[in-house]
Amino acid sequence: MNPPKTLLISFVRTFWHNFWLTMMQQLAPSDDQGKYQRSASQFRGTIEGNAESGRYHLYVGMSCPWAHRALIVRAIKGLQEFIPLTILVPNASTGGWVFQPVQHDCSTLAQFYRLNQPNYRAKATVPLLWDSWQKQIVNNESSEIIKLLNGHFPGDLDLYPASLEKEIEQWNAKIYPAINNGVYLCGFARTQAAYQDACQQIFQTLDEIELVLSGQRYLCGESLTLADIRLFTTLFRFDAVYYSLFKCSIKRIADYPNLSRYLSDIYNLPDVAATCNLEQVKKDYYGQLFPLNPSGIVPL
């Protein structure tokens, strides 16, 4: 005798929800309120004085917004020949970044991390700044790497001028929790309350920035700064990924005239477009984040 359809549906819903919670805990651990908890970066080294050409190597993934920050700074400061680059790709079966081809006798970024710290058990993340002379990881915190690239490598462009440091940091303190990390708090939320709180914070902050940009070109006036680059990489992915996959769906960036102009303005700066690969972004987010998109279908 077949079980009643309502019992079967109830069983499947309960099974799938519990299985989803287990997968999500592996992908994105949360607190007891269902709020995503991002782990802190473990390598926080610095560079003394001016960097030597070819000494430091940058490891990135094209779909990662945190790595994209470093890619943009490297590009607009003209450091392409000064800082070698390795692009890694995500692997759904291992849940991490992999080398193609193998480098340093490592096939995965996790193995590369453990070369530097054998007991390392945290996530192996990009971007990663590597000292190829000392054979050691310098830093894996994107907000610090872009300051290192700006301050210790050649180039006349200063994206973190002393006169704007306070204002830049005020924007960073607002944008990181509400937008940069906020989209992940929204997409990885386990409860309705956690989701709604994150979603509302995102759009309250976007509304505030939209108003500011009605009277000036960039966040700190007429000069591009690191604060703009930190915001740009999230805005670039917003309509194609975060709006739908992460349920950040109150508005699109396209619905904000000033933010749309701002996004286009930065995208069209010299060498920035070359760091942007929206098809790869969609492929990796929709194809790799199985708990959020079990079908693996990538939208057109």
Question: Is 199 among the residues known to form the active site?
Answer: no
- Which of 120, 160, 176, 184 is catalytic? The answer is 184
Angle between helices 165-175 and 226-237 (to 10 degrees): 20
Which among 36, 56, 64, 256 is annotated as catalytic?
A: 64
Strand partners, 62: none
Name the pairing type of β-strands 56-61 and 85-91: parallel
* The pair of three-digit structure tokens given for residue 26, joined into one six-digit string: 């592996």
Distances (CA, A) of 108 to 91, 112, 286: 9, 7, 21
User: Any idea what DSSP says for residue 176?
Assistant: I
> Residue 268 is encoded by which pair of tokens?
């069209």
Please answer whether residues 236 and 263 qualify as being in contact, where contact means their C-beta atoms are separated by less than 8 angstroms.
yes
Give yes or no: 184 in active site.
Answer: yes
Structure token pair of residue 272 = 């920035």
SS3 (DSSP) at 26: helix
Establish whether the linkage from the previous residue to 101 is cis, with ω within 30° of 0.
Answer: yes
How far apart are alpha carbons 191 and 139 in whole angstroms? 34
In angstroms, the CA 59 to CA 140 distance is 9
Active-site positions read 64, 184
